[in-house]
Amino acid sequence: MIRWTLLGLAATVLAVGGVAYASGGNDNNGDKAWAQVNPNGGSPLLVKAQGIVSVSSPLTGVYCLRAASGIDLAQSAPVASQEVNLSTTLGLVTPRRVGAPNSSCPTNQLQIDTWDASNASTLTLVNTVGFDVLVP
């Protein structure tokens, strides 16, 4: 039990640290795009966003984010973390490289997967984990 708690804490620290590192030295205008997404039970909503114009969920726990015209998501290293205030499940959030093989999203959209982390031995995709994403 302690091991899984520490694993969860470490993942959270790394996610927050990754966002801080990715945005280090940039003011808000230096980031290509960012968004806060409410999973809304499978009908996701953009709560706040800059440079991201829409979000959809073709499968449970899979989110596709479309950028505004002129923003190339393929030339970045997006980072994402759970937004606890928009979640009903302890979760993990994983971005996929734009255009990656076997993606569930169109090739020009960013895919974010959300996982139920309450039972680490059987991770499953869920639509109950809100998230923040930053595209530096």
pLDDT tens per residue, range 61-70: 999 999 999 9
Q: Is the pLDDT of residue 19 over 80?
A: no
How far is Cα 92 from Cα 115, in angstroms, rounded to an integer?
5
How far is Cα 124 from Cα 11, in angstroms, rounded to an integer?
17
| pLDDT of amino acid 76 | 87
- The string of pLDDT tens digits covering residues 73-127 is 888 899 999 999 999 999 999 999 887 877 899 988 999 999 999 987 889 999 9
Phi and psi dihedrals of 9, rounded to 5? Answer: -65, -45
CB 91 within 8 A of CB 128: yes
Tokens 């960013």 label which residue?
110
How far is Cα 124 from Cα 131, in angstroms, rounded to an integer?
16
Tokens 């930053």 label which residue?
134
Model pTM greater than 0.85?
A: no
Question: How does the average pLDDT of the chain come out, rounded?
Answer: 83
